[in-house]
Amino acid sequence: MTQISAQPIDARDEFDVPPQRRPRHIAIIMDGNGRWAVERKLPRVAGHRAGARSVRDIVIECGKLGIKALTLYSFSVENWKRPATEVNALMSLYLEYLAKERQELVDNNVRFMQLGRRDGLPEKVLAEMDQTIGATRHCTGLTLALALNYGSRTEITDAMRAIAEKVKAGKLEVEAIGEETISDHLYTAGLPDPDLLIRTAGELRVSNYLLWQISYAEIHVSERYWPEFGVADLHAAIRDYAQRNRRFGAIDETNS
């Protein structure tokens, strides 16, 4: 795990990692919205709104770089424990983002999907989400997966229940269950596993995020709060990833 100190953002930053060295799938834990706001004596919702602007920039840049999938940890199953005023403000922000950015996603050939349980989400959010999923279904560029009402243990539990139902119905033999079976029943079915996990705000936890999928992901930690995380920081994370020697448990004979 590499922890990167905050560096000035240079708008002239040129990206120099060749396509074959870039991650296919980037997963991000967007942390620090509240702290960013508190340090500026602003309400926490102002931090979430500023964070939404960072989402837009990072989505567009990932599309330009040819990244296949971007998964953003937006709202966890544990986040329902936050004050009702903050939860309601977040749900309103999702409604606004989905409606406002829908055409932008289509114009940039970005396919949208949601990871997480639908139960518990407001009907208006589900409606906007479904409309965005439908509008971008034909897009063939970047896949933007929003982890909303998501928890990895919840995801694995749901997958196990679905597999058990198939066994119970005689549609699946126990002996046929393997890692691929489990992967195919997760919310991320059809997506490649993340190659790069980015966490902002200097935190060193994975926070119940994609626990099955990040088994071999490279981890990059940025000191920046999410509203401060920009294109140059994304480039720095990908450069860091490109320098890693990914052996997947094997031995690198060139350095042995």
Q: What torsion, rounded to 10 degrees, do the Cα atoms 205, 246, 20, 107 define?
A: -20
3-state secondary structure the chain: CEEECCCCCCCCCCCCCCHHHCCCEEEEECCCHHHHHHHCCCCHHHHHHHHHHHHHHHHHHHHHHCCCEEEEEEEEHHHHHCCHHHHHHHHHHHHHHHHHHHHHHHHCCCEEEEECCCCCCCHHHHHHHHHHHHHCCCCCCCEEEEEEEECHHHHHHHHHHHHHHHHHCCCCCHHHCCHHHHHHCCCCCCCCCCCEEEECCCCCCCCCCCCCCCCCCEEEEECCCHHHCCHHHHHHHHHHHHCCCCCCCCCCHHHC
29 close to 237: Cβ distance less than 8 angstroms: no
d(CA 108, CA 105): 5
From 10, 13, 79, 109, the catalytic residue: 79
From 10, 16, 31, 33, the catalytic residue: 31
Q: Tell me whether residue 107 is one of the annotated catalytic residues.
A: no
d(CA 119, CA 82): 18
Q: Tell me whether residue 16 is one of the annotated catalytic residues.
A: no
What are the residue numbers of the active site?
A: 31, 79
